[in-house]
Amino acid sequence: MTPSLAVLSRCLAALLGGYALTYAVIAALARALPTDPVDAVIIASLPAFVVYTAAILWAFASRSALRAWVPVPVLGLPLALFAFWPQLLERLA
C-alpha cells in the first residue's frame, strides 16, 4: 500500500469506521440499560464522543492501515446485532 493510500485508509477508518462503531456501541448500550427507554436514550448517547474519540485514536495508533479497520466488524457487528435484534426478528416474522 502506498503511503498516501495508507493515510487515506486510516482517515476513513477513523471518521467513517469510527462513526459506525460508535453507532453500534451506543445502540447496544441503550438496549442494555435497564432504565426507562427515554432515560436510556440520553444516558447511552452522552458518552458517544468518548467512544468516537477512542476509535479515531485507534485508527491512527494501530500497526497497519488495514488493522485500523479491525474494531468495526469485530466489535461493531455483534453489538449492532444485539441492539437491533428485536427489530430484525420482527422483520423476519
**Interface residues toward other proteins, by CB under 8 A:** 3, 6-7, 10, 14-15, 22-31, 35, 37-46, 48-49, 52-53, 56-57, 60-61, 63, 65, 83-84, 87
Count of other CB atoms within 10 angstroms of residue 55: 24
Residue 82, classified by CB atoms within 10 Å of its CB into exposed (0-12), middle (13-18) or buried (19+), is middle
Q: Which is nearer to other proteins, 49 or 77 (CB)?
A: 49
Minimum distance from residue 48 beta carbon to other proteins (Å)? 4
**Shortest distance, CB of residue 26 to other proteins, whole angstroms?**
4
Instruction: Give the nearer residue to other proteins in terms of CB position, either 12 or 45.
Output: 45
Shortest Å, Cβ 74 to other proteins: 18
Shortest Å distance, C-beta 62 to other proteins: 8
40, 82 Cβ separation under 8 angstroms: no
Residues making up the chain, counted from first to last: 93
